[in-house]
Amino acid sequence: MRILIVGGGTGGTVLANNLARRLAVEIRSHKVRLTMLTASDKHLYQPGLLYVAFGQMTPDQLYRDQAGLLESSVEFHVDPVVKFQLDQKQVVTKSGKTYEYDILIIATGSRIVPDEVPGLKEGSENFYTVEGAVRLRKRLMEFEGGTIAMVVSLPHKCPVAPVEAMFMLHDFFKARGIRDKVRLRYHYPVNKVHATANVAVWAKPEFDKAGIEYETLFNLKEVDPEKQIVYSEEGTECKYDLLIAIPPHRGMEEIENNKMGQAGWIPTHRHKLTMDGYDNVYVIGDATNIPVSKTGSAAHFEAEVVAENIESQIKTGSTVREYDGKVYCFIEGGFDRATYNAFDYVNLPVLKPPSKSIHWFKMAYNRMYWTTVRGLL
Amino acid sequence: MSEVKVVDARNTFCPGPLMELISNMKMASVGDTIELLSTDEGSGADVPEWVNKVGHEIISNEKIEGVWHIKVRKAK
Ligand SMILES: Cc1cc2nc3c(=O)[nH]c(=O)nc-3n(C[C@H](O)[C@H](O)[C@H](O)COP(=O)(O)OP(=O)(O)OC[C@H]3O[C@@H](n4cnc5c(N)ncnc54)[C@H](O)[C@@H]3O)c2cc1C
């Protein structure tokens, strides 16, 4: 039995380690072979990018060697897949090698595509890449007053990130003693301040309290970097001194090139996590098209479901669990308080008021992440 | 007549049915029709509000056995 995992980010790594433990005996006796193909020898802890932008973490703290995060029984190659030949149960890599499999798991994540919005790349900053976060950090330190506008494009990783960033901007300029010189404007595509109902209910009065202005039904159309104006599809505009964007996202290019899903999102069964049309292909994390937030937390829970099902399939011939849409997200409410959102496909509880202890738990999680992807926690 | 693409956003909270519709509208071509299925109570009003503000077209909007079926044509 050959199990092939493509992608060594959050989902792929949790899955590989979980399977390596569940199938330790089978791997040792060569009944099962567990292989991971990925695109980088480094693993990036992406949630840390928000903290880099605000000067609370440095980029080097966000990286570990991927090989060191994996159980030794996982065969690991940095050799990205370029061709998915699903009908022949094989993939072809950049180096030209062909890997055959019995079970394939795709966990290739998503990427930002600022080019999709005219003027966005030239006219805005973001915290969705390491370079972006470092540049934004400098711009924020140099900012002496004026309008900071946040615009959001869909879909994007970590749905609460724009809300968190606004609260952190508020505290950042308060700490620098120039909050009264900074106008904070938040723009959001739907008719509430957040698409998730409980987050919207909580965030709106908090925005009011912090003096954060908001405009809803603002779908990003284009940016004029010269005039420093951002325009919406709805016909409104905002003049800015610093524009922070959550850029549009897509699945990976290789997924699009292989025509496996529109905009690179792979059609996936929302409970079984199998790719439509292929019972032996699972998809987890950002790469799916399932209606759940693109978060490391979802990728992690999905990986656990898939690991349990693959083990069960091998040992008993049938699967045992379905993914229920579970997600757990911390939400920073500034520099010293946070709340969290825990929900699934059918339950959405009211958010608790932010507290210092949840904030410190998130700060601790920023370091504990490395233990969770190893599967030790 | 072109096919209607169904976006099944029943039982989803995050990022939510309207977000699913907006993402799918972005990928669609002018003239395409998308049918959104949603169990979110607010959808019956929220979706038309967005559609009208952006300038697309609502073809039908009805609730059948607790599920909103909202058909939208991409106009621009
Ligand atoms: C600023 C920011 C803040 C965030 N905050 C949070 C948060 O607070 N909580 C939370 O839960 N999530 C958060 N996220 C989201 C989270 O980081 C992602 O949702 C998560 O990493 C997705 O996991 P994944 O396994 O699907 O993809 P990734 O972790 O992105 O991994 C994809 C992997 O695939 C590999 N790959 C790509 N192409 C190929 C190929 N062709 N062949 C082989 N391998 C390939 C890559 O090298 C990478 O290893 C945040 C993200 C950002 C950017």
Residues with CB under 6 A from ligand 1: A 6-12, 37-40, 46-47, 49-50, 80-81, 107-109, 127-128, 157-158, 161, 252, 254, 285-287, 294-297, 299, 329-330
Record the tokens describing residue A301, joined without a space. 């829970």
Overall average pLDDT of the A243-272 stretch: 96
Residues A89 and A121 in one domain: no
The conformation of residue A179, written as its DSSP 8-state character, comes to G
Tell me how far the alpha carbon of residue A175 lies from the centroid of ligand 1, in angstroms.
31
pLDDT value, residue B14: 67
A356 within some domain: no
User: For chain A, where are the alpha helices, taking DSSP H only?
Assistant: 10-22, 24-28, 48-53, 66-69, 120-123, 130-142, 161-175, 197-210, 253-257, 296-316, 356-374
Residues A27 and A120 in one domain: no
- Binding-site residues on chain A for chain B (CB distance < 8 A): 154-155, 159, 189-191, 195-198, 217, 219, 233-234, 248, 262-263, 291-293, 325, 327, 341, 343, 345-346, 348
Residue at a domain's end among A247, A279, A297: A247
Residues A143 and A100 in one domain: no
Backbone phi, psi, residue A214, to 5°: -140, 150
Record the tokens describing residue A15, joined without a space. 């899955």
Question: At which residue do the structure tokens 């994390």 appear?
Answer: A285
- Cβ–Cβ of B22/A154 closer than 8 Å? yes
Overall average pLDDT of the A17-39 stretch: 98
pLDDT at residue A234 greater than cutoff 90: no
Record the tokens describing residue A150, joined without a space. 């946040």
Record the tokens describing residue B19, joined without a space. 């977000």
Task: Give the containing element (helix H, strand E) for A65.
Answer: strand A63-65
Q: Which of A195, A325, A348 sits opposite B19 (nearest CB)?
A: A195
Tell me how far the alpha carbon of residue A110 lies from the centroid of ligand 1, in angstroms.
7
Answer yes or no: are the C-beta atoms of A170 and A334 closer than 8 Å: yes
pLDDT at residue A275 greater than cutoff 70: yes
- Cβ–Cβ of A154/B46 closer than 8 Å? no
- Cβ–Cβ of A292/B14 closer than 8 Å? yes
A371 within some domain: no
CA distance A233 to A85: 39
pLDDT at residue B1 greater than cutoff 80: no
Atom of ligand 1 nearest to the CA of A13: 25
A311/chain B closest Cα distance in angstroms: 28
- Range of the structural domain that residue A53 is part of: 2-109+252-326
Residues A220 and A272 in one domain: no
Overall average pLDDT of the A223-241 stretch: 96
Tell me how far the alpha carbon of residue A107 lies from the centroid of ligand 1, in angstroms.
9
Instruction: Say which CATH number the domain at A15 has.
Output: 3.50.50.60
Work out how many CB contacts closer than 8 A connect A with B: 69
Residues A186 and A277 in one domain: no
Going through A247-307 in order, the beta strands assigned E by DSSP cover: 249-251, 274-275, 278-283
A36 within some domain: yes
Q: Is A346 left (phi over 0), alpha (psi -120 to 50) or beta?
A: alpha
Q: Which amino acid is at A342?
A: A
For A45-85, what is each residue's pLDDT tens digit?
Answer: 999 999 999 999 999 999 999 999 999 999 999 999 999 99
Overall average pLDDT of the A292-300 stretch: 96
CA distance B75 to A318: 47
Tell me how far the alpha carbon of residue A47 lies from the centroid of ligand 1, in angstroms.
9
Record the tokens describing residue A39, joined without a space. 């695109």
Q: Which amino acid is at A290?
A: I
Domains of chain B, each with CATH number or no CATH: 4-73 (3.30.110.40)
Residue at a domain's end among A282, A298, A326: A326
A339 within some domain: no
A377 within some domain: no
A368 within some domain: no
For A92-114, what is each residue's pLDDT tens digit?
Answer: 999 999 999 999 999 999 999 99
User: For A211-344, where are the alpha helices, taking DSSP H only?
Assistant: 253-257, 296-316
Q: Please count the structural domains in chain A.
A: 2
For A299-326, what is each residue's pLDDT tens digit?
Answer: 999 999 999 999 999 999 999 999 999 9
ipTM attached to this prediction: 0.80
Whether residue B48 lies within 8 A of chain A, CB to CB, comes out as no
Residues A172 and A233 in one domain: yes
Q: Which of B11, B15, B16 sits opposite A345 (nearest CB)?
A: B11
**Residue A276 pLDDT grade (very low, low, confident, very high; cuts 50, 70, 90):** very high
Average pLDDT, chain A: 96
> How do beta strands A182-187 and A42-44 pair?
unpaired
Task: Give the containing element (helix H, strand E) for A91.
Answer: strand A90-93
Answer yes or no: are the C-beta atoms of A234 and A251 closer than 8 Å: no
Residue at a domain's end among A298, A326, A354: A326
Question: With the CA atoms of A166, A171, A174 and A175 taken in that order, what torsion angle do they form, in degrees rounded to the nearest 10?
Answer: -140
Interface probe, candidates A116, A158, A190, chain B, greatest B C-beta count within 10 A: A190
Answer yes or no: are the C-beta atoms of A314 and A1 closer than 8 Å: yes
Residues of B in contact with A325 (CB under 8 A): 11-12
Report in angstroms the alpha-carbon separations of A245 from A162, A265, A316, A375, B34: 9, 21, 49, 34, 27
Residues A17 and A118 in one domain: no
Answer yes or no: are the C-beta atoms of A40 and A94 closer than 8 Å: no
Atom of ligand 1 nearest to the CA of A255: 41
Cβ neighbour number for residue A100 with a 10 Å cutoff: 12
Interface probe, candidates B6, B7, B10, B14, chain A, greatest A C-beta count within 10 A: B14
Portion of chain A with pLDDT greater than 90, in percent: 94
- Cβ–Cβ of A155/B19 closer than 8 Å? yes
Residues A212 and A296 in one domain: no
pLDDT value, residue B2: 63
Residues A122 and A215 in one domain: yes
A369 within some domain: no
Residues A53 and A155 in one domain: no
Select from A62, A208, A211, A183 the least CA-distant residue to A134.
A62
Q: Which residues of A189-211 are buried (b: 16+ CB within 10 A; e: fewer)?
A: bbbbbbbbbbbbebbbebbeebe
Estimate to the nearest angstrom the gap between the alpha carbon of A188 and the chain centroid.
19
A343 within some domain: no
> How do beta strands A2-6 and A103-106 pair?
parallel
For A340-363, what is each residue's pLDDT tens digit?
Answer: 999 999 898 899 999 999 999 999
Answer yes or no: are the C-beta atoms of A114 and A247 closer than 8 Å: yes
CA distance A237 to A8: 40
> How do beta strands A2-6 and A33-38 pair?
parallel
Answer yes or no: are the C-beta atoms of B24 and B15 closer than 8 Å: no
Residues A132 and A226 in one domain: yes
pLDDT value, residue B13: 76
CA distance A254 to A267: 15
- Looking at B1, B14, B30, B64, which residue is catalytic? B14
pLDDT value, residue B42: 85
For B11-61, what is each residue's pLDDT tens digit?
Answer: 887 678 888 898 899 889 999 999 999 998 888 888 999 999 888 999 999
Residues A141 and A209 in one domain: yes
- N residues, chain B: 76
- Cβ–Cβ of B53/A234 closer than 8 Å? yes
Whether residue B64 lies within 8 A of chain A, CB to CB, comes out as no
